[in-house]
Amino acid sequence: MLLLAFALCPMLAVVGVMLVLGVAAAAAARLTEGTRHEAQGQWLCLSALALMGTVCGFAIQCGPDAAAAAAATLAVMTLITVADFSPAK
């Protein structure tokens, strides 16, 4: 039986969950565009961006890998939120 043991900082686990939720919030904001839920989607995304910025600050304490992952997620969330991928008319 193969036993894989490694130390996992609880903060790193929280950062991982926040990364997934942040990208999901940005995607949800994109999916709600043009619907009656657009305002709620935008507020959710704005809150997630602010929370991810805070998580980036706390992730520095876990080391450069966690900080880089949080910063990359913040960049992806911003790209999902700002970029317009619709074809030009």
Give the 3-state secondary structure of residue 33: coil
To which residue do tokens 């880089």 refer?
Answer: 68
Give residue-wise pLDDT tens across range 11-47: 677 777 878 888 888 888 888 888 899 899 889 888 9
pLDDT computed for residue 60 by the predictor: 84
Give residue-wise pLDDT tens across range 48-83: 889 888 888 888 887 888 788 888 888 888 888 887
Cα 17 from chain centroid (whole Å) = 9
Q: How is residue 85 written in tokens? A: 């991928």
DSSP code, position 35? S
Q: Domain ranges in the chain?
A: 27-82
pLDDT computed for residue 82 by the predictor: 83
**What is the rounded CA–CA span in Å between residue 32 and residue 16?**
25
